[in-house]
Amino acid sequence: MEIDVSVSASWIDKLIGRDVQHSPDDPCAEGMADCDEVHDNASDFIDGEVSPRLTTRIRHHLGLCADCDPWFTSLAQTVGLLRKVPQHKVPDSLKVKISKITGE
């Protein structure tokens, strides 16, 4: 069985708003997130669980930061791949065996 490991670049571009480019002289850049804020909120951002204001701040930062953009792209690709991994139900018999071994 062959598994498709590609992740749509357009999904990532849309997520981070890569088309939103700001000059460091742009007053909008003053309200952007810093690297720590991007790293601290990356998972929630990918899941769409941050406020619209923070979404804008993160997108602005990713449009300017040469360090965070590739880091975030890699993280988003990893999440995209993990979402494609099929989930399997653990058999009850295996759960019982593990419980006996661990004493739980």
Among 15, 49, 20, smallest CA distance to 32 is for 20
Please give the pLDDT value at position 5: 46
Q: How many whole angstroms separate alpha carbon 94 and alpha carbon 6? A: 33
Q: What percent of the chain has pLDDT over 90?
A: 33
Is the pLDDT assigned to residue 3 strictly greater than 50? no
CA angle 89, 6, 63 (to 5 degrees): 115
3-class state of residue 26 by DSSP: coil
pTM of structure:
0.58
The H-or-E segment that residue 24 falls in is none
